[in-house]
Structure formats: structure tokens, C-alpha cells
Chain A
């Protein structure tokens, strides 16, 4: 946003805020080629979501809701007509919540240690935190499956093995997110609290935690998003349980109901509503302050 102030005489439509000294034909072409490429890429990125919304109003001709047949509200009226699907959504949400809580706590603790304390083996720990983000998912899934096969056996795999796996790959993302928030924090605030005779516990609860809270919140959201959307690692650790991504994947072989598109649309519309509402609330709050 800072650039806006620099290139003040931007045209009202905001299309070309950059001042070009010599209006050569090349510069003109460059500007419009850029615009065209950007437009096409955005269409490419947003098209599937539009298709999902469109297909959620379809009455599929046959088992698979892949081609348009005729308009119907059936899928929207009974999103849970397929109980297997809604069970799998429930399982995904449960795993997402439990894994997010554990990963956020463990990850936040690691971030505090990394930013606030001096200790040996820092680079080794950094590597251990970085590797789960860099290793191919299929390798993590397969090796974890091997561990569970060897120890508890395929029969005992389910909710907890999936949750364990999700916590494992969420921790690193939590650490990265919380750490950046912690590192950007002014340490003098905590010292001020100490000067004012706050006990370490009070300083932590009343100063540090409120300041880091947005980072922890963002980390938790990220962990939840990664957890409910994961397929590869989940399929290796699931045993006989079925999460929502596994249900979708299986549907490609069995039957692909329009209800899946309803859920897909709801996920998008729901999060967009949440973002819009929070933006409006934010704006109201800032304007009231002024």
C-alpha cells in the first residue's frame, strides 16, 4: 500500500499508478500485455470455483455430477442425503480441531524457546522443523504408515493415528507463523512490565500473550486449514476410517453426487462471508477511533 503514496498522480481506475517517463510503444504494449496475462491467469485460478458453484445446482444425469444436465435445488435442499459424506465431514472437523489445538500449543512453545532463549543445537532444531515442510508428503505418509504397521498394526489405525500425523506436519507451520510475530515484537514492553513489579506470570499473561495472540490465531487457522484439506498423509494413516478428502477421492470411483459441489461452494462462501464481516467490523472500529 505504501507505493500508492509515492506514485500519487495515479489515474482514478488505479490501473497504471506507475509513472512512465517516456511513453514508448514498447512500454504501452508491456503494460497491456501484463494486464491481459494477469486477467487470463485469474480466470484460470477462479474458474474451478465458479464451476463448482454452477454444478451444485445440477441434477446429475447418472452417477457422476461432471456434466451439466438440468437445474435443480435438490442437492442444496438435502446436503446430507448421503450420510457417509456427512460422517466423513464430521470426522475431518474433529481431527482438524484436535490436531490444531495440539499443534498450536506445541508449536507456540517451540517458537517461544527459539526466539526468547539462547541454547545449543539451534541449527539442528531448525533443520528438524524445516524438514517436514520440505519432505514430499507421500514419503512422510508412507514412512509413518510403516511405523504404525510395525507397532500397533493396521487394525488399530484411525482417528488417533490421523491426528498424530496431522499434528506432526502442522507444528512447523505454527512455529513459522508464531515466530515471525514474536520476532517482530518490541521486547521493551515486557521489560517495562517487569519494572512495574509484574511477576513473570503476570507479564506473560497480561503483556506477552495478548501481543502474540494474533500470531497464534493465524497459526491455528493455518493448521486447521492444512489439516482438513490433507489427503495424502491421511490415506496412509487412516486404517478403515474415512475423512472428507478421502470420501471425495473415493467418490471419483463410486459416484460423484452434486452434494460434494454444495459443500465445496459452502466452504468458499462461508469463509468469504467471515472475511467480509471481519473486514467491515475492522473498518467500523477504526473509523470510530477517528
Chain B
């Protein structure tokens, strides 16, 4: 998280007398950790690129046959899953930003002495396993619960069902429930970086804006928003990246028509004897897709230095 705020490592100008001695200490310190990351992160990712063009099954083993048809399968057979993953994660990012900005703004500028307590309240829920908290939404959104009753009384459920967000008279097992769960799970990830960058803004700048005849909205638009952009970008990235890969919410709060890429990958890997190559191909597609979206976003936002 802190990568975004991390200052360029202060390159030390230390005792020049040490210079001539060739120093192996940094490499000794780096080696074990980097080796771990190479063997258990980098190599697997590269292996999966090779696995994605193999054929075979668990009993007879897999062979590298340059079977590029795996990619054809991965791309054509799972269209709805890619669509769902993309739409749900984009919606989640947008909703999270829309909800997190006012909250972070309020805590940073109007929190006063309650600031620390309010920020603690943002983090405190995550002490309970996120799975238990996600499953709690099954109780909240249950068919005989007050949320469904209220929506029914307001006739909103008919509208959302007509739009395809909910199914029948239920809120659970619908796209709306999946997005609700995802927004719930990722909201703290949007609030934290937003708060950090808003908190740094000197409130006197608001007064300066007012002195220069800016209305409150203009002050926000021209002073606060530009200064909080690092937080906006950091927060949206911290939400979008895990949201693309998330399949917990789709699995727990969705229905068979809301499946996302992650569910299919898990299924191919863990429950199908010959699914491993196509599953690898899907992982590669997903990774490259996420990378392209994130890089384009960072490039468009003009903040390459954030990484």
C-alpha cells in the first residue's frame, strides 16, 4: 500500500572510505528473499505460460505440444466470465470511489479529534475473517430480512429485477449482491490511500480558495481534487486489481449466471483432470489483461512515477 507514498529511497552518502571495498553485503541480504520470490512467484508465472500450450491430463502427465488452441478455448468458451469479471470490478471501483471520497474527506477535514477513532473504525471490521463478514451479507440480504422488505415496499425490487440487477423477489444470488459484497470488501482499500492524501492537504488552502472567490464546489474542484489525485489513483488501483481476481463474492453471493474468471480457473485447476493447460491459459490472459488496463490507466493519469 505504501508503495504509492514511498519516497525514493534516500541513497546514503556515507563514509567514503568504505567505497573501495567491494561490498557483497547487500547481495547477501537480498539473496534469500529474492530467491524465494523468484522460485515461488516468478518461475511459476513463467511455467504457467509454458503450461498454457501443453496437452494431457493428471494421470498421463502433461506435454509441451505448443497447443495454442488452449488460448482459443480460454478466450471463446468463457466470454461471459471475462465480461462479468470486468464489469463487476469496474462497478466496484466506481462505487468504492464514490462512497470512499466523501468519507475520507469528512474524516480528514471535519474529523477533528475523532479522526483516529473514525479511521480505526474503517480498519476494525477487517479483524474478523473476510469470509465470515461476506457470509453475514447472506443474513442481511435474506429474503425475509428488512432490506428485501424495504425494497419490496418501495417497489424498487421490480425495477432492479427488470434491469437484471436482481433476480425475482430476491436480492441474494444476483449481480447486485455480488457487487454489494465486493464494494463492502474493498471499501477500506479505497478509503485508506484517499485519506492519506487528503489528510496532507493544508486546510488553509480551502480558505485561500474561498478568499479568491471560489465557491465550496469550485474550491473542491480546483484545489482539493487535484491535490488528492494520488490518493484517487492509488485507491482505485488497490480496489480494481484485487477485484478483478476476486471470486469469493461471486461464489458466495452470486448465482450460476454470475460466474467470474476466478471461479472457472479454480474449477479447471482443482476439479478437472485435464483442465490445467486451459486454466493456465486463462491465468495468462487475465494477468496480461489486468496489466494492460492498469498500465493504460496509470499512463492516462500521467503518474508513472507512482510505481
Residues of A participating in the B interface, judged by any CB pair closer than 8 Å: 1, 3-4, 6-7, 10, 14-22, 24, 26-27, 30-31, 33-35, 37-38, 41-42, 44-49, 51-52, 55, 66-68, 106-107, 109-110, 112-119, 122, 125, 128-140, 142-147, 149-150, 154, 164-165, 167-168, 171-172, 175-177, 179-180, 183, 187, 225, 228-229, 231-232, 235-236, 244-245, 248-249, 252, 256, 260-261, 263-265, 267-268, 270-272, 275
Interchain CB contact under 8 A, B125 and A48 = yes
**How many interface contacts (CB-CB < 8 Å) are there between A and B?**
312
Stretch at the interface among B101-109, B155-163, B228-236: B101-109
Contact A106 B47 (CB under 8 A): no
With A37-B102, A106-B32, A117-B26 as known contacts, state yes or no: A179 contacts B9, CB within 8 Å: yes
* Interface of chain B residues 127 through 184 with chain A (CB within 8 A): 127-140, 142, 144-145, 184
If A117-B26, A125-B34 touch, does A267 touch B45 (CB 8 Å cutoff)? no
- CB of A254 to closest CB in B, whole Å: 13
A67 to B100, CA, bound (A): 30
Please indicate which of the listed interface residues B2, B11, B36 has the most CB atoms of chain A within 10 Å of its own CB: B36
Asked whether any CB of chain A lies closer than 8 Å to the CB of B68, the reply is: no
Q: Which chain B residues lie closer than 8 Å to A275 at the CB level?
A: 120
Chain A residues contacting B248 (CB-CB under 8 Å) are 231-232, 249
B47 adjacent to A146 (CB under 8 Å):
yes
Given the complex, which residues of A lie within 8 Å of B76, measured CB to CB? none
Q: Which of A4, A20, A118, A179 has the most CB of B within 10 A?
A: A118
Contact of A110 with B41 at beta-carbon distance under 8 Å, contacts A51-B136, A232-B248, A267-B128 already known: no
Interface pair B36/A168, CB less than 8 Å apart? yes
Say yes or no: A150 contacts B115, CB within 8 Å: no
CB proximity of B85 to chain A, nearest CB, Å: 9
- Neighbouring A residues of B261 by C-beta, 8 Å: 138
Beta-carbon contact of B40 and A165 below 8 Å: yes
Complex: A188 Cα to B151 Cα, angstroms: 63
Using CB atoms, name the residue of chain A closest to B23.
Answer: A117
The 3 closest A-B pairs by CB, nearest first: A136-B245, A14-B112, A117-B26
Q: How far is the CA of A177 from the CA of B106 in the complex (A)?
A: 27
Q: Please give, as numbers and ranges, the residues of chain B lying within 8 Å of A119 by CB-CB distance.
A: 23, 26-27, 30
**CB–CB B262/A48 < 8 A:** no
Q: State whether B102 touches A142 (Cβ < 8 A).
A: no
Contact A106 B128 (CB under 8 A): no
Task: Let me know if B36 and A167 touch, CB within 8 A.
Answer: yes
Q: Within 8 Å CB of A30, what residues of B?
A: 216-217
Q: Are A130 and B41 in contact (CB under 8 A)?
A: no
Residue pair B207, A245 in contact (C-beta under 8 Å): no
**B interface secondary structure, majority:** helix
Encode contact with A along B264-307: 1 for CB under 8 Å, 0 otherwise: 01100110000010011001001100100010000000000001
B129 engages A145 (CB within 8 Å):
no
A109 to B44, CA, bound (A): 24
Are B262's CB and A138's CB within 8 A? Answer: yes
Report the minimum CB–CB distance from A149 to chain B (whole Å). 7
A-side contacts of B216, CB under 8 Å? 20, 24, 26-27, 30
The reply on B121 being an interface residue by CB < 8 A is yes
User: Do B204 and A6 touch (CB < 8 A)?
Assistant: yes
Is B110 a contact partner of A139 (Cβ separation < 8 A)? no
| Cβ contact of B269, chosen from A107, A128, A145, cutoff 8 A | A145
Cβ–Cβ < 8 Å partners of A267 in chain B: 127-129
On chain A, the residues within 8 Å of B40 by CB distance are 144, 147, 164-165, 167-168
List 16 contacting pairs A-B, 8 Å CB cutoff, sorted by A: A14-B114, A19-B207, A21-B210, A41-B99, A49-B128, A49-B133, A55-B136, A117-B25, A128-B34, A129-B37, A132-B41, A133-B3, A136-B245, A136-B262, A167-B36, A183-B6
Q: Is B87 part of the binding interface, using a Cβ–Cβ cutoff of 8 Å?
A: no
Q: Which of A146, A165, A172, A249 contacts B276 (CB 8 A)?
A: A146
B181 to chain A, nearest CB (A): 10
Beyond A116-B12, A134-B294, A248-B131, whether A41 also contacts B187 by CB under 8 A is yes
Chain B residue numbers with a CB within 8 Å of A68 are 139
Chain B residue numbers with a CB within 8 Å of A179 are 6, 9
State whether A109 touches B32 (Cβ < 8 A).
yes
> Contact partner of A252 among B135, B144, B280, CB < 8 A?
B135
Contact pick for B9, options A15, A38, A146, A183, CB 8 Å: A183
Q: Which residues of B contact A248 (CB under 8 A)?
A: 129, 131-132, 135
Any chain A CB within 8 A of the CB of B21?
Answer: no
Output the residue of A3, A44, A149, A260 with the most chain B CB within 10 A: A3
Contact of B133 among A41, A52, A114, A125 (CB under 8 A): A52
Question: With contacts A138-B283, A183-B9 known, what are 7 further pairs, Cβ within 8 A?
Answer: A21-B211, A26-B216, A30-B217, A117-B26, A135-B290, A176-B2, A231-B131
Asked whether, in the complex, the Cβ of B115 is within 8 Å of the Cβ of A1, the reply is: yes
Which residue in chain B gives the minimum CB-CB distance to A17? B112
Indicate whether A115 sits within 8 Å of B10 (C-beta atoms), given known contacts A18-B109, A38-B106, A146-B51: yes
Which A residues touch B114, using CB under 8 A? 14
User: Is the beta-carbon distance between A17 and B286 smaller than 8 angstroms?
Assistant: no
A113 with B36, Cβ < 8 A, contacts A26-B215, A66-B139 known: no
Within 18-57 of B, Cβ neighbours of A (below 8 Å) are at 23, 25-27, 29-30, 32-34, 36-38, 40-45, 47-48, 51
